[in-house]
Structure 1
Amino acid sequence: AVNFQWTDDELKYVPNQYHNYPVVGGWYGSQDGSYEEFIASEPDIVIESIDEGGDGDLSTVKERQDKFGKIPVVAVNDTTNVEKIGESITFMGEVVGAQDKAKELNDFNNKYLDMVHDKSSKLSDSNKKTVYYAQGDDGLQTNPSHSTHGQLIDLVGGKNVADSVSQGNTTAGVQVSMEQVISWNPDKIITNDPEFYSHVYNDSNWGKINAVKNKEVYLSPQSPFKWFDRPVGANMIIGVPWTAKVLYPDDYKDINMKDATKEFYSNFYHIDLSDDDAKQILLDSGLKESNL
């Protein structure tokens, strides 16, 4: 089964055997999962995540085990932090007897983590690009620095302009005003919202901002899962090199994003993209062809 209904665009990047699985919901956001339905499908094992900043904890795992009875419930640690997710991938490889595959996935992740750790550590504050993460169709919701939702900005050495609005909660989004974004005047804007991206260059208010003037607004690739955020998870692994290319294209000329995209989709999603497929995904995100 699957948690939610795939869109037509997402189905382009989902192996055929998963296209017609029944939708059974789950325990995230809408909290519409059904113990009875899950038990009736007779799973061999139940995996419950316990995430930093998320909804799951050990008491939830114990509750699940009580409800599932003899079906074993296994907790896997943090899958929300792209820098820590390798431990969870290794653990899952052991659980399902796929250690070699887990190593392959982690090798991909570590390759780009090592690269951005090295390069970002050498950035002086004066050389860091300022970045605004625009959420919502009006672009006026955001997340501050140290949020799981904006973690890729921090990871690659960007300076999140919304850091001052953290309000003590780094997981929840915050509402900001157009005037505030104009005053921040970021070098780059990253968004997950196609509606916002479709009109930002034609909006006179956003046109006052350097990122818009300089055509430096980027839309996270969307399918089958977003690269930058929502959900936070393994889908963000390919977002590491993408965000690095967005912020510092000259520093990451050694990354071939077409090859990285094809490798990620093959290894993680079991979908083989053509060169043209990968190129189009990247161009649609706002990356310039010379930076692929």
Structure 2
Amino acid sequence: MRPLLTLLALLALVSPAHARSVTDSAGRVVEVPDTVTTVFAAGPPASVLVYVLKPEALTGWPRALRPEERAYVAEPYRDLPETGRLTGRGGEANLEAVLKIKPDLIVDFGSVRDTYIDLADRVQEQTGIPYLLIDGRFDNTAEALRVLGGALGVPERGEALAQDVEARFARLDALLAEVPEDARPRVYLARGPEGLETGMKGSINTEIIERAGGRNVADDGGATKGLVNASMEQVIVANPDTIVTWDQNFFAAVQDDPLWQGIDAVQKGRVFLSPTAPFGWIDRPPSLNRMMGLTWMAGLLYPERWSEQGGGDLRAETRAFYNLYYHVDLSDEDLEGLLEWAEGRPPE
């Protein structure tokens, strides 16, 4: 342990020879090197954000890519090492890994609550490595791209992506302006093989449903937050007309499960499986990947209105998104594999 402590002490005395001040989403003023060539992502959402903006700076994935995800990431970055995470359960055990990598910058993308501010301050103080906290709320996406794009030295790309995000939101807002709240689809997020884990209204896991104009049926007026385990009785009472899931086991079984037969969404064939490669379209993680999910979900919930707003061709929009955000040109085979069940087609 002593060599690590000595290294921490030495690194804490080091400051970049040429640095500039960046104010992060928590209001912290951080001295960032003029040229950032290596970034440690504190968690999965940050890794997606850094990859989208400046993939050559990413030092590794918090979790190494799985075989089925590799085709959807540009080839030079498929074999980046697994670095673990600083945030979340057991995250701080990876501080030594950060010191070995010696990145120019640490980035976290998500909550900017006091807990995360304290962690950022402590890690920065111990290592001497600047640490930026970027607000990961859905509606802050464009600002996040601008702030980190500037910090990474790619402001033009950050601005281009921010404008793309704003255009997507504007298309959706124009659509929803004509749809009264009580006329919007009632949506349930089914997580896990039984479909009984879900996210309450306002949670980061269901933010995409609500932003796309769906009414999350897991709503108790704000009394409960985050992920919860629902009972089958609660789902029956809620009776959603649309179900979205990323769990293939649930999706494959739900049509033949007698417990779900009375649910409107099942009876009408409105159960949809979200793509998950290379990152989930609903969450997992809640990062820039949700922008593609937003486009997909708007088309599911409002197919005619979304088409009138310039959407509707899911294949073309997926190709364009993966090229712009993920730096990859999808083959026809990879595109079909990705969208195989996203339009509600039953598994073979």
Normalised by the length of structure 1, the TM-score is: 0.89
**Is 2:87 the counterpart of 1:28?**
yes
Equivalent residue in structure 2 for 1:260, among 317, 331, 346: 317
Equivalent residue in structure 2 for 1:130, among 181, 186, 189: 186
Of residues 30-39 and 113-122 in structure 1, the stretch that sits farther from structure 2 once superposed is 30-39
User: d(CA) in 1 for partners of 2:114 and 2:67?
Assistant: 29
Whether contact under 8 Å (2:120, 2:133) holds in the other structure is no
Whether contact under 8 Å (1:246, 1:287) holds in the other structure is no
| Identity %, equivalent residues | 29
Question: Which residue number corresponds to residue 272 of structure 1?
Answer: 329
Whether contact under 8 Å (2:107, 2:134) holds in the other structure is no
Consecutive unaligned residues in structure 2, runs of 5 or more: 1-59
Question: Which residue number corresponds to residue 105 of structure 2?
Answer: 45
Question: Which residue number corresponds to residue 108 of structure 1?
Answer: 164
Equivalent residue in structure 2 for 1:244, among 298, 303, 315: 298
Whether contact under 8 Å (1:48, 1:56) holds in the other structure is no
Shift of 1:275: 4.8
Q: SS at the partner of 2:107?
A: strand
- CA offsets per residue over residues 43-88 of structure 1, 9 Å max, x none? 1222234615x6853222210111212x322x23212x22211111
User: d(CA) in 2 for partners of 1:274 and 1:20?
Assistant: 20
Question: Which residue number corresponds to residue 76 of structure 2?
Answer: 17
- CA offsets per residue over residues 109-168 of structure 1, 9 Å max, x none? 1221111112112212342111111111100111121111101121122111111275x3
**Is 2:120 the counterpart of 1:61?**
yes
User: d(CA) in 1 for partners of 2:287 and 2:133?
Assistant: 13
Whether contact under 8 Å (2:71, 2:334) holds in the other structure is no
User: Which is greater in Rg?
Assistant: 2
Q: SS at the partner of 1:189?
A: strand
Whether contact under 8 Å (1:192, 1:219) holds in the other structure is yes
Paired AA for residue 51 in structure 1: S
Question: Which residue number corresponds to residue 183 of structure 1?
Answer: 237
Equivalent residue in structure 1 for 2:202, among 133, 146, 164: 146
Aligned positions, number: 282
Paired AA for residue 57 in structure 1: Y
Question: Which residue number corresponds to residue 211 of structure 1?
Answer: 265
Consecutive unaligned residues in structure 1, runs of 5 or more: none
Question: Which residue number corresponds to residue 201 of structure 1?
Answer: 255
- CA offsets per residue over residues 230-269 of structure 1, 9 Å max, x none? 2111110111111101111121123122222111111111
Q: SS at the partner of 2:133?
A: strand
